[in-house]
Structure 1
């Protein structure tokens, strides 16, 4: 036997870009994260062709889950056509032969930064959330070794104190994105920098959610049909952003999460944050045959 017979032909990159050893490790870490919902599992974050802090964790999960039949959607703060979202989507299609889509209902893998789509996800869909900072205790305990001990003891008293201080000083809880939430009654997680509007979408959801922080080398998950409860006091209910009466100036849709666009005269216009959801409504108003999926919210309120 010759050495040439033991080697494979040279190729520019492995399928899905990551080497098989990296994928095996990621799969093991994902399975552990699913088995212990909300628990931060460390992993060896690999180099990918984007800078750390711009979605490397989410991209590694997507590349690990990738197969030739995958249909991939990438969202950047609700938008499908931003430079970051478009570049990641095209990269995934190039290295894995996956089909690109902007339609939430058509995707099998949805990688997102800072938003969860307005249309409900199904059991056969996987949501991958990019996470810049996975540690909910960092603001109250900068020593990560101590923070992990606090997670082990389910000691979240300092988080409750922070929320109480906000309530006393401002009359309401000021925490916006990354609202700390209890997963499966055991571990508190930071659900990525998604707005409060999106946190209830994770509770008892049909789909699997995987959250990955490439820079911090941590991965955690919310399996299907798992409770995700924002930390709230019994007499102060959880409140989402008050967008019930906001109307998108492009699609005339009301009752969903909006982006505020300040105008020169001091007024504001509003636009649907979920860009393709708005596009669907525009196409539907023009009598095109469009399938719009069921949504979590109706008229600004959770069903």
Structure 2
């Protein structure tokens, strides 16, 4: 293989990911065959605009990657959808797990994440993904990854063992008044409206949110105007987690959501605060902002 990572970086990557066995004993777990793409595997620098993995701890990645993305443009488009999940800090190994697939470190043979790491990230992050209407995708089915007795990418699990399992604030309600955070919520949504809340009720494990009649759409997306008039939102699995916005029915909010099955779920709620420079910046950038294609990733 040409252009392999220098030995120093191989050593650093090996220490970072704690491979479990000597690579000489390793047999590829997947039938990964980049030659089928008509090109040899290449090592390339991780570009700065690959936000998911630029600071993961090594400088170069293998392409095609282990998710069969053939070009760096495709990697950036698909990986961008996962950046918000890393920001949610649902598990300390989320970035390592994802980058081992999207931007695999350049070694002699492809090395997949350990099954236990996949399961730990899945168990920590699935509740947050579900709150935004996304299931854990089949392409990351943990049964596909090698057991711990095979060489695989791991990490020190001390932090994950002692990690607080509680979600804290409801994920759509984190209300960070930052333009990038607001746009990330917007990109995970199908529509956004300006309105007030009339009533909030607990319904099973969810919260049912009834809006006031006066509603102004900021982004309609797939939502039809006739649906906007009778729109009711649900905060999925939100019966017990804190959401300060839903306790203050006097304020006007930027409310974001998306359709999941027969329901519309709340994906983000920010106070409509035109005195905030970050809020105004987000609204201005919304007109030209290009979102990652979430639906292409979370299948």
TM range (shorter): under 0.3
TM-score of the pair, normalised by structure 1: 0.26
